[in-house]
Every structure is written in C-alpha cells, then in structure tokens.
Amino acid sequence: MDPKDILSFVFQRADQTQVFWNLYATASTAILGFVAAAKSEWLNKSVCTVLSCGFAVFAYGNLQALNHTRQQREGLLLLLSSLKDYPPSIENVASAARPSSLVELLLFHITLDLFVISMIWLIPRIRTRASATDP
C-alpha cells in the first residue's frame, strides 16, 4: 500500500472525528438551549433526571465512537510507520495527524459531560432564584 493512500485514510478518520465532535456540540447546545428556554415549572426533578440520563447515554455512545475512530487512526499510523520507503515529508504530515491519547480524550469528554449535566440541573435553579428576587 502506498504511504499517500494510508495518509488519505488517516485524514478521512480525522474528518470523522470532527463529525462526532460537531454532533456532540450540537446535542449539548440543543439540550442546554431547551433547558434555558423552557418554563421553570416544567423543569422539575423528573424532567432534569430524564434529560441527564438521556444525555449521559448519548455522551457514552459519542465517546465510544470517538475512541473507535482514534484507534483506527492509530492503527493506520502504525501501518504507515511499518513502511520503510517513504519521503521524510510524509513523516512530518503523519506526526501532525497523530490523534490524542485515550486519557486525553476521556478527560476532555468527561469534563464536558459533567459540565452539561451540571448545567441541566443548575440553569432551572438559577432562573427560579432570579425570578423570585425580581420585583
């Protein structure tokens, strides 16, 4: 297999990673937008629990998809490094296309997950408290 073909596959997987992150950002924004726009009376504990659980299931699936894509990129780069006859410029491009580690992915994703879930619970409380103090 030609090194350029392998690099093409690596960048296709990188594009797929971007798609998964865009989906995550869209879902997070939609949920938080709903929570911010909904009437305070609608956002009781059961609704917040359902939203939190639904988002957690989505986030887990998204994390799995991101990890699988990351593993595919690592495998392709390992295949590329096993080839001996390619120009040094391809090595530079390949090193720039190296995915983040599993630990980095987990830390970043879980931090964002916790932020979104905490906002699902905090936004209604902040709005209720703010409306109670308005004259």
**What is the value of pTM for the model shown?**
0.86
52 contacts 121 by C-beta, under 8 angstroms: yes
Range of the domain at 25: 3-133
Residue 95 has pLDDT above 90, yes or no: no
Helices 45-82 and 3-37 sit at what angle, rounded to 10 degrees? 170
Q: What is the pLDDT of residue 93?
A: 81
Task: Please compute, for residue 100, the number of CA atoms within 13 A of its CA located in the half-sphere on the CB side.
Answer: 12
The residue to which tokens 């780069």 are assigned: 77
Count how many domains the chain has.
Answer: 1
Contact partners, residue 72, CB within 8 Å, separation at least 6: 13
Q: Which amino acid is at 27?
A: A
Residue 88 has pLDDT above 90, yes or no: no
Contact partners, residue 98, CB within 8 Å, separation at least 6: 73, 74, 77
Kindly report the length of the chain.
135
With bands split at pLDDT 50, 70 and 90, how would you rate the model's confidence at 135? low
With bands split at pLDDT 50, 70 and 90, how would you rate the model's confidence at 94? confident
The residue to which tokens 């979104």 are assigned: 116
117 contacts 28 by C-beta, under 8 angstroms: no
- The pLDDT of 82-100, averaged and rounded, is 81
